[in-house]
Homo-oligomer: A and B are copies of this chain.
Amino acid sequence: MYSFICDYSEGAHPNILKALADTCYEQNEGYNYDQHCLTAAKRIKEEIKRDDVDVYFLPGGTPTNLISITACLRSYEAIIAPSTGHIEVHETGAIEAAGHKILPIETPDGKLTPSHIQKILNGFEDEHTVRRKMVFLTNPTENGTIYKKAELQAIRKICDDNDMYLYIDGARLGCAIMAEGNDVKMEDLPEIADIFYIGGTKNGALMAEALVIVNDKIKPDFRFHIKQRGALTAKGSVLGIQFEELMRDNLYFKLAKHSNEMAQKMAKELEGLGFSFLTQSPTNQIFPILPNSIISELEKSYQFYIWEVVDHDHSAIRLVTSWATPEEKVDQFIKDLKQFI
């Protein structure tokens, strides 16, 4: 049984584990003040070509979203997000538990547009309603799709025009950056977002995300928010070491590239076999639509999610590859599938 369930099925990349082993008796400052965090932050600043940002390392996507949002907002300020956004559907109301309303928007492919946002802004706003203060988007989206640079810039503009923060959840950011057709560079992100994160857990880390704060208004007292939400890691060096390795010799991007290539190889084969897809994903998550009979056969040897019922006889499944997916598993999957046609 091989799993295409997600990109966090495997552990961490060997380089990371070697670095952790090599430093296990080293004494470090706690709480992200260690040399590894400093070095990793420096490498990230070089990558995005900005020295005037604050970088924090956090142990997971949900705490990163939660802390970023609560640090930006007062209690009556709300977040506009796609209805497929992780904060809206898959964080057990974490944002609301911290006091903030999410204003969800239905989208065809998980991507927000200025007109989506404008629709929410057109609603009546005074002290009887929440104030719209932040836009949340994910790149790549939960549907595997990516934003073009011009699309992000247009969203930046509507945020500027309406005094809203723009937060980019980059849980799989590497896969967006390395996707075919992408024109967003790492150095573009601080021009576009007020705050964003570079996801490590879904790209070869044990558990680590790198949060980048660009907007000066968000910087003060940020460590108070991290600690209060339980995410100020005592052994901060463990997080720093992971990003030190990911940012060494482009490992982060190489892993994302591999991950994309494995999914895209499957996508190309499936397309060649005449199957269509729920969304046009150039990243490591693809959503082919298959006859239910074939799905049943595949389920005997592979794990994956059935994502959506398409019609009586067809469903879309989600196939996710990772930094660790061997090419032979991808080949075998296609080979097996061909048998069931």
Interface residues of A (CB under 8 A from B): 2-3, 5-6, 8-14, 17-18, 20-21, 23-30, 59-63, 66, 70, 74-76, 78, 89-94, 96-102, 123, 127-131, 201-202, 206-207, 221, 223-235, 237-238, 324
Contacts and interface: CB of A to CB of B under 8 A. Distances in A.
Given A8-B30, A89-B128, A127-B224, 14 more contacts: A6-B234, A8-B234, A10-B27, A11-B25, A11-B238, A13-B24, A60-B231, A63-B231, A90-B128, A92-B228, A93-B130, A99-B99, A207-B238, A229-B229
Nearest to A21: B17
Contacts of A94: 227-230
Dominant SS among interface residues on chain A: loop
A254 B228 CA distance: 33
B91 A228 contact: yes
Contacts of A131: 221, 224
Given A17-B20, A96-B100, A89 B129 contact: yes
Given A127-B224, A201-B234, A228-B92, A3 B20 contact: no
Contacts of A102: 101
B228 A230 contact: no
Contact of A90 (B6, B93, B129, B226): B129
A128 B102 CA distance: 16
Given A6-B30, A8-B30, A76 B93 contact: yes
A219 to B, nearest CB: 13
A88 B229 CA distance: 15
Contacts of A63: 230-231
Nearest to A90: B128
Given A60-B230, A128-B90, A21 B21 contact: yes
Contacts of A3: 27
A226 B75 CA distance: 12
Given A62-B232, A90-B128, A206-B235, A26 B10 contact: yes
Contacts of A10: 24-28
A227 B62 contact: yes
Contacts of A100: 93, 96-97
A96 B101 contact: yes
Contacts of A237: 11
Contact of A92 (B76, B92, B123): B76
30 contacts: A3-B27, A6-B234, A9-B29, A10-B26, A11-B238, A12-B238, A17-B20, A20-B20, A59-B59, A60-B233, A62-B230, A62-B232, A63-B230, A63-B231, A74-B224, A75-B98, A75-B225, A75-B228, A76-B225, A78-B93, A91-B228, A92-B127, A92-B228, A96-B96, A96-B100, A97-B228, A97-B229, A202-B234, A207-B233, A230-B231
A130 B225 CA distance: 10
